[in-house]
A = this chain, B = another copy of it.
Amino acid sequence: MTTSVNKTEHAFDKGRLEALLNRRFFYAPAFEIYGGVAGLYDYGPPGSSLQANIIAEWRKHFIIEEHMLELDTTIMTPAPVFETSGHVARFADWMVKDTKTGDVLRADHLVKNVLEARLAGDKEARGLAATPATDDKKKKKKAVKTTAFKLSDEIVEEYETILARLDNYSGADIGELCRKHNLRNPDTDNEVGEPQLFNLMFASSIGPTGQHPGFLRPETAQGHFLNFSRLLEFNNGRVPFASAQIGRSFRNEISPRAGLLRVREFTMAEIEHYVDPEDKKHEHFADVRDVKLILLDRHVQEAGKNSTTVMSVGEAVDKGIIANETLGYFVARIYQFLIKIGINSERLRFRQHMANEMAHYATDCWDAEIQNSTGWTECVGCADRAAYDLTVHSNKTGHPLVVRQALKEPIVTEKEIPEWNKKALGKTYKQDAGVIQKIVESMDQAELAKLKGQLAQGKAVITSSEGNEFEVTPEVLTIELKTLKQSIREYTPNVIEPSFGLGRILYTLLEHSFWSREKDVERGVLSLPPLVAPTKVLIVPLSAREEFDPLVKEVCASPSQPQILTLLLTASFIFVSLVPLGWSQLLASKLRKAGIFSRVDDSNTSIGKRYARNDELGTPFGVTLDFASVQNKTMTLRERDTMDQRIGPIDEVIAVVTELVFGNITWEEACARLPAYDGVQAIE
A32 close to B76 (CB less than 8 A): no
Interface string of A353-379 (1 = CB under 8 A from B): 000000000000000000000000000
Copies of this subunit: 2
How would you classify the secondary structure of chain A's contact residues: helix, strand, loop or mixed?
A: mixed
Residue of B nearest to A46 (CB): B234
Stretch of A148-156, A207-215, A326-334, A628-636 lying at the B interface = A207-215
Give residues 29-68 of A contacting B (CB, 8 Å). 30-34, 37-38, 40-45, 47-49, 51-52, 64
Interface string of A227-264 (1 = CB under 8 A from B): 10111011010000000000110101011000000001
Shortest CB distance A21–B (Å): 12
A9 within 8 A of B: no
Chain B residues with CB under 8 A of A667: none
Residue of B nearest to A267 (CB): B72
Residue of B nearest to A27 (CB): B72
Task: Give the distance in Å from the alpha carbon of A12 to the alpha carbon of B223 in the complex.
Answer: 32
Q: Select which of B24, B40, B212, B227 is within 8 A of A74 by beta carbon.
A: B40
B42 close to A75 (CB less than 8 A): no
A538 within 8 A of B: no
Indicate the size class of the contact surface on chain A.
35 or more
A77 within 8 A of B: yes
A487 within 8 A of B: no
Shortest CB distance A114–B (Å): 20
A425 within 8 A of B: no
Chain B residues with CB under 8 A of A72: 42-43, 47-48, 51, 267
Chain B CB within 10 Å, residue with most, of A70, A203, A603: A70
Q: Select which of B64, B73, B102, B208 is within 8 A of A95 by beta carbon.
A: B208
Chain B residues with CB under 8 A of A102: 209
Task: Give the distance in Å from the alpha carbon of A28 to the alpha carbon of B393 in the complex.
Answer: 18
B204 close to A203 (CB less than 8 A): yes
Interface string of A262-289 (1 = CB under 8 A from B): 0011010000000000000000000000
- Of the A-B pairs whose beta carbons lie under 8 Å apart in the complex, a sample of 23, sorted by A's number, is A25-B231, A30-B74, A32-B227, A33-B229, A34-B80, A34-B81, A34-B397, A38-B207, A42-B74, A44-B227, A44-B231, A45-B231, A49-B70, A52-B70, A64-B597, A75-B250, A76-B216, A76-B264, A203-B205, A204-B204, A204-B216, A207-B254, A208-B255
- The 4 A-B pairs at the shortest CB distance, nearest first, are namely A43-B72, A30-B74, A33-B399, A42-B73
Inter-chain pairs besides A104-B209, A248-B248, 7 sampled, C-beta below 8 Å = A24-B234, A33-B397, A34-B397, A48-B72, A64-B592, A75-B248, A104-B208
